[in-house]
């Protein structure tokens, strides 16, 4: 990518096993589905194999270990090399010949490993494994899932296969194929409780909305194929090929990439294709954690990050800046909009869903700015510019990492809360008929004061929220500051970028508010009702992943110190070699808190003030409170709760005016976007359908009816000339044939 | 070997018998049998011609004709069954609804 272009193929020992990372879960899918069919309800299958959960765990663990081996090989082989690339032609037809290349293009499946792959591969395989552990604790203890968990696990591992395949694939075509496998599994998993109409329609909505994006993605890919004659990364990212395309059709390339970006918008639930994500919370909680927080929604980000070589190419300098701005602006809009809607949500999982949208939007803004900087700065020759580009791109990808870890954890913790609230409710109302029960175990109205009941879950939620909010030193702080700083850096070059830059800064304060609100309403204060007072601790399968992820989120500072903030895009800064970890941490600290540039120094503290003081302060003033008398929680949560109680007492204000305002109502109705879509559907699609139906009845049916009545009247005429006896007809046929034969004979 | 001319004559005789039967009988199954007779007369004519000209094309035609005749019989009998279900008769004189 920089300086002299060297693409070196490193043949590593584990590379050849890389396809197994995808194939093992795929085989797991078939095995679990088959065994589940055969042994469904069998006590051994149910108790000892957890209805397939342990088989899924086995394949996911194997995938994870293979991924780790591959990653470590990559890191070892990584010393200034550009990329590790190896194509294994599984199917080599030689007939797929694109327009602009003369030699036959092999249609093979290959593995492509670079920095972005490694980052996503770790995130995907690690979280899939943890969520699998969580699922065993969550799905198998709920009697509603009895005898159908094998379906869940089978779809789950197929989903993981899709995600891992998308990350490892070596061409946009395979990326698209695995992308669609994920789309299918997402549909199946959201509709897991298909007997509920809301779940069934949510599944349909998610499938159709993402499909809109996918159509554009496909058009974009076809255009890319047309430009390059191939979709292999090796061909499309080749500097020489990009030069050729840049000379003749840079504008077309921008369109192709823009259409692909629409696909990413659909998959990552950004405005205006975001409507499916909140509804997708109808699926079981592990699914929400897996698909709608940690993995699938990252697919869109991955696709945009993959476009980096185009934006970074010297030959396309300044040609793609409009697209980069669009990416950043879509991110900016979504970041603020989703955060605003999250203000008023009562459903625990919905708050997290909107938070996911908002954070993904941050990453899109970060990527958009990084791509803009890469496209407009002369970063190939200027080392300062190079540093700026690398840090901007690295910050966005690092936020992806931090967000995936924190959000996966938050969803699992919320699942644990919902699970226990549900159990407490059942326990309290034991023996009653639950058929017409309208108790909502997901509503924060039914929680409160749970910090003492579920200390581990509360801690995980606290750390996860802090990471999302970007409280100093924890998790997302390191990356979020980077994204905000880079948005402003882009704004210094181009005033258009002031819009996304303002959005992310505003979003920081909003994130602080809604995440604190969620935590305080769930865990602080007094129990809101009898059910919340009877919640008990959760089981080990659920606790383990929470524990691990809390640790990972807290140790984000170590990753930052190891150079994660630069590493993902940098080809010269080598992993762990230039600086040792202590130096790295000190460097990050200095960079974050004592920036030499006065503008960024002030910006950092403004962002921290907004995200860590204004937002949480408001939430505490509204929702803070002491636990019930006699309840004690872990020492590290006590100060938070005490602080919230103090702020609440001191600064509490009445917010009914806001709650009853039309803005709040609009937010509760998701800004009426769903309604607009419905209206548009009714007016445009249904109107069009009616017109088409008219054409069908009037023109097509009319013609056919005319033919029918015409032949009927004709047959009445003919009928009067016949006798009705079969023998007469035979005679006529015979005589007729004889006559014709004689005539032909005569002529001949 | 039999003279192809004799076979040709036998074929003509069979054809006339079939034709006459088809004209005069009113039982649908008998009429069908007569039609089969005519078809087979044609087959014999083909075979005779093939021998006469020393050309295998005629044999091949015969095979095709037999295969098609078999399926035609199946369809014909199925139609008669359906007709019997509707009219409780397969007499050709009574099946003349199209006229009325």
Nearest CA of chain A to the CA of B55: how many Å? 23
Chain B neighbors of A712, CB-CB under 8 A:
none
For chains A and B, what is the number of CB pairs under 8 angstroms? Answer: 28
Report residue A366 as tokens. 């970060």
Q: A687: which 2 tokens? A: 């109107």
Report residue A708's pLDDT band, with 50, 70 and 90 as the boundaries. Answer: very high
Taking an 8 Å cut-off on Cβ atoms, the answer to whether A725 and B23 are in contact is no
Taking the Cβ of residue B100 and every Cβ of chain A, the question of whether any pair is shorter than 8 Å is answered with yes
CA distance B37 to chain A (A): 15
Contact A724 B26 (CB under 8 A): no
Name A347's bridge partners: A443
Res. A101: pLDDT tops 60:
no
- Between A331-335, A438-442, A475-479, A641-645, the lowest mean confidence (pLDDT) is in A438-442
Question: Which residue in A723, A726, A734 is closest to B19 by CB distance?
Answer: A734
Distance from chain centroid for Cα A326: 19
Interface of A with B in 693-722 (CB under 8 A): 719, 722
**For the residues A59-66, what does the mean pLDDT come to?**
90
Determine which of A132-141, A196-205, A433-442, A670-679 has the lowest per-residue pLDDT on average: A433-442
Contacts of A722 in chain B (CB under 8 A): 98-99
Say what percent of chain A tops pLDDT 90.
9
Task: Report, as an integer, the average pLDDT of A204-220.
Answer: 90
**Partner B contacted by A596 (CB < 8 A):** no
What does the block give as tokens for A380? 């190939």
Would the pLDDT of A219 be above 90? Answer: yes
Has residue A10 got a pLDDT over 60?
A: no
CA distance B6 to chain A (A): 23
pLDDT score, position A34: 85
Six-digit token pair at B14? 């069979």
Overall average pLDDT of the A287-314 stretch: 84
Q: Is A741 on the interface with B (CB under 8 A)?
A: no
Residue A78's pLDDT is 53
Any chain A CB within 8 A of the CB of B99?
A: yes
Name which of A719, A722, A725 is nearest B93 (Cβ-Cβ).
Answer: A725
Is A405 strand, coil or helix? helix
pLDDT for A444: 77
Residue of chain B whose alpha carbon sits nearest to that of A732: B23
Structure tokens at A519: 């935590």
Average pLDDT, integer, range A730-746: 90
Question: Which helix (H) or strand (E) is A113 found in, with range?
Answer: strand A109-113
Residue of B10, B17, B19, B73 lying closest to B45 (CA atoms): B10
Q: Name the residue in chain B with its Cα closest to that of A735.
A: B19
Nearest residue of A to residue B98 by CA position? A724
Task: State the CB neighbour count (10 A cutoff) for residue A347.
Answer: 17
Give the one of B23, B26, B96 whose C-beta lies nearest to A724's C-beta.
B96
Check B93 against A722: CB less than 8 A apart. no
Q: How far apart are CA A560 and CA A562, in angstroms?
A: 5
Helix, strand, or coil (residue A745)? helix
Is pLDDT of A739 > 90?
yes
Q: What is the pLDDT of residues A600-651, one digit of tens each?
A: 778 888 888 887 888 888 888 877 777 777 777 777 777 777 787 878 777 7
Best to test chain B binding among A717, A720, A730 (most B CBs inside 10 Å): A730
Residue pLDDT, tens place only, A103-159: 445 556 777 777 788 888 888 999 889 888 888 888 877 777 777 888 888 888 999
pLDDT tens profile A373-414: 888 887 777 777 887 888 888 888 888 888 888 888 888 888
The CA distance from A56 to A62, in Å, is 10
**Of A648 and A695, which is predicted with more confidence?**
A695
Give the tens place of pLDDT for each residue, A47-58.
777 777 888 888
Chain B residue nearest residue A728, CA to CA: B23
Average pLDDT, integer, range A514-530: 81
The answer to whether residue A725 neighbours chain B at the CB level (below 8 Å) is yes
CB B46 within 8 A of CB B66: no
Q: Report the pLDDT averaged over residues A556-563.
A: 74
Interval A567-581 mean pLDDT: 54
Mean of pLDDT over chain B: 89
From A183-187, A278-282, A622-626, the region with the lowest mean pLDDT: A622-626
CB contact under 8 A, B26 and A727: yes
**Binary contact (A730, B24; C-beta < 8 A):** no
> Does the bond joining A611 to the residue before it have cis omega, within 30 degrees of 0?
no
Query: Which CA distances in Å does A699 have to A428, A695, A708?
Result: 65, 5, 14
Residue A7's pLDDT band, with cuts at 50, 70 and 90, is: very low
Number of helices and strands in chain A (H, E): 33, 2
Q: Which of B22, B28, B92 sits opposite A725 (nearest CB)?
A: B92
Strand (E) or helix (H) holding A138: helix A115-139
Contact A463, A550 (CB under 8 A): yes
For residue A567, name the pLDDT band (cuts at 50, 70, 90).
Answer: low
The CA distance from A713 to the nearest CA of chain B, in Å, is 13
What band does A99 get if pLDDT is binned at 50, 70 and 90? very low
Burial A86-107 (b: 16+ CB within 10 A, else e): bbeeeeeeeeeebeeeeeebbb
How many angstroms separate the CA of residue A211 from the nearest CA in chain B? 49
Query: Is A731 touching B (CB cutoff 8 A)?
Result: yes
A427 to each of A347, A671, B7, how far by Cα in Å? 22, 38, 97
In the prediction, which pLDDT does A568 show? 54
Q: In this complex, do A727 and B98 lie within 8 Å of one another by their Cβ atoms? A: no
Alpha helices in A169-196 (DSSP H): 172-190
- Determine contact: A38 vs chain B, CB below 8 A: no
pLDDT computed for residue A705 by the predictor: 92
pLDDT of residue B64: 92
Question: Please, what is the average pLDDT of chain A?
Answer: 80
By the 8 A CB rule, do A361 and A339 touch?
A: no
> In which band, very low, low, confident or very high, does the pLDDT at A85 lie, cut at 50, 70 and 90?
very low
Query: Is residue B92 within 8 angstroms of chain A, CB to CB?
Result: yes
Using 50, 70 and 90 to split pLDDT, how confident is the model at B96?
confident
ipTM: 0.78
What is d(CA A522, CA A274) in angstroms, rounded to the nearest whole number?
Answer: 26
Strands A84-88 and A109-113: antiparallel
Nearest to A189 by CA among A176, A174, A177, A206: A206
pLDDT of residue A566: 67
- How many whole angstroms separate alpha carbon A685 and alpha carbon A65? 49
Give the confidence band of A93 by pLDDT, cuts at 50, 70, 90: very low
Binary contact (B99, A731; C-beta < 8 A): no
């Amino acid at each position: 990518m920089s300086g002299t272009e060297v693409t070196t193929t490193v043949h590593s020992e584990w590379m050849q096993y890389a396809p197994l990372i995808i194939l093992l879960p795929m085989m797991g899918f078939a095995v679990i589905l088959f065994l589940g069919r055969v042994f469904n309800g069998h006590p051994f299958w149910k108790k000892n194999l957890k209805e397939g959960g342990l088989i899924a765990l086995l394949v996911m663990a194997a995938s994870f270990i293979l991924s780790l081996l591959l990653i470590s090989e990559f890191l070892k082989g990584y010393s200034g090399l550009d990329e590790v690339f190896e194509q294994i032609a599984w199917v080599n037809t030689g007939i797929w010949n694109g327009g602009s290349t003369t030699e036959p293009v092999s249609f093979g499946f290959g593995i492509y490993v670079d920095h972005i792959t490694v980052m996503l591969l770790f995130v995907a395989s690690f979280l899939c494994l943890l969520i699998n552990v969580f699922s065993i604790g969550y799905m198998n203890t709920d009697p509603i899932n009895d005898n159908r968990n094998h379906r869940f696990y089978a779809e789950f591992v197929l989903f993981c296969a899709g995600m891992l395949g998308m990350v490892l694939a070596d061409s946009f075509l395979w990326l698209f194929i695995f992308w669609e496998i994920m789309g299918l599994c997402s549909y199946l998993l959201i509709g897991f409780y298909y007997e509920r109409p809301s779940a069934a329609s949510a599944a349909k909505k998610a499938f159709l909305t993402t499909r809109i994006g996918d159509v554009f993605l496909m058009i974009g890919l076809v255009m890319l194929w047309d430009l390059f004659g191939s979709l292999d990364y090796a061909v499309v990212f080749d500097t020489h090929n990009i030069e050729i395309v840049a000379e003749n059709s840079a504008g077309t390339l921008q369109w192709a990439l823009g259409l692909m970006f629409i696909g990413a918008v659909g998959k990552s639930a950004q405005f205006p294709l975001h409507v499916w994500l909140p509804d997708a919370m109808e699926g079981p909680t592990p699914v929400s954690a897996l698909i709608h927080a940690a993995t699938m929604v990252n697919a869109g980000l991955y696709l945009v990050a993959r476009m980096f070589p185009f934006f970074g190419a010297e030959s396309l300098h300044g040609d793609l800046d409009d697209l980069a701005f669009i990416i950043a602006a879509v991110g900016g809009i979504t970041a603020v909009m989703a955060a605003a809607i999250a203000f008023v949500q009562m459903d625990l999982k919905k708050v997290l869903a909107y938070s996911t949208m908002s954070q993904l939007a941050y990453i899109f803004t970060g990527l958009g700015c990084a791509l803009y900087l890469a496209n407009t700065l002369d970063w190939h020759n200027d080392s300062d510019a190079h540093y700026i580009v690398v840090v901007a791109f690295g910050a966005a990808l690092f936020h992806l990492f931090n967000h995936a870890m924190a959000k996966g954890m938050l969803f699992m913790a919320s699942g644990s809360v919902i699970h226990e609230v549900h159990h407490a409710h059942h326990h309290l109302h034991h023996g009653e008929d639950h058929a017409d029960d309208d108790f909502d175990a997901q509503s924060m109205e039914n929680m409160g004061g749970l910090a003492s009941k579920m200390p581990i879950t509360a801690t995980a939620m606290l750390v996860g929220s802090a990471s999302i909010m970007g409280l100093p030193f924890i998790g997302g702080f390191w990356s979020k500051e980077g994204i905000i700083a880079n948005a402003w850096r882009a704004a210094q070059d181009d005033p258009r970028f002031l819009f996304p830059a303002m959005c992310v800064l505003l979003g920081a304060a909003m994130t602080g508010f809604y995440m604190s609100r969620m935590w305080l309403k769930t865990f602080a204060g007094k129990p809101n009702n009898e059910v919340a007072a009877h919640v008990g601790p959760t089981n080990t399968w659920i606790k383990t992943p929470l524990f691990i992820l809390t640790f990972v989120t807290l140790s984000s500072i170590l990753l930052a110190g190891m150079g994660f903030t630069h590493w993902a895009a940098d080809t010269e800064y080598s992993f762990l070699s230039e600086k040792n970890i202590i130096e790295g941490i000190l460097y990050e600290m200095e960079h974050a808190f004592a920036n030499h540039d006065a503008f960024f120094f002030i910006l950092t503290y403004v962002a921290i003030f907004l995200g860590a003081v204004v937002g949480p302060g408001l939430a505490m003033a509204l929702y803070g409170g002491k636990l019930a008398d006699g309840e004690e929680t872990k020492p590290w949560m006590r100060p938070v709760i005490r602080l919230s109680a103090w702020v609440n007492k001191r600064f509490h204000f009445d917010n009914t005016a806001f709650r009853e305002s039309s803005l709040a109502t609009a937010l509760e109705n998701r800004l009426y976007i769903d309604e607009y879509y419905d209206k548009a559907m009714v007016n445009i699609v249904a109107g069009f359908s009616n017109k088409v139906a008219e054409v069908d009845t009037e023109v097509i049916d009319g013609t056919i009816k005319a033919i029918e009545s015409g032949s009927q009247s004709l047959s009445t005429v003919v009928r009067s000339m016949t006798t009705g006896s079969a023998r007469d007809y035979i005679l006529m046929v015979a005589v007729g044939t004889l006559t014709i034969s004689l005539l032909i004979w005569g002529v001949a | 070997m039999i003279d192809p001319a004799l076979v040709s004559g036998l074929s003509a005789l069979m054809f006339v018998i079939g034709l006459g039967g088809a004209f005069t009988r009113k039982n649908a199954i008998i009429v069908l049998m007569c039609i089969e007779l005519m078809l087979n007369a044609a087959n014999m004519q083909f075979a005779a011609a093939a021998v006469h000209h020393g050309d295998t094309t005629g044999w091949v035609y015969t095979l095709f004709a037999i295969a098609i005749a078999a399926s035609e019989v199946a369809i014909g009998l199925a139609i008669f069954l359906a007709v019997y279900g509707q009219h409780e008769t397969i007499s050709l004189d009574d099946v003349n609804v199209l006229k009325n």
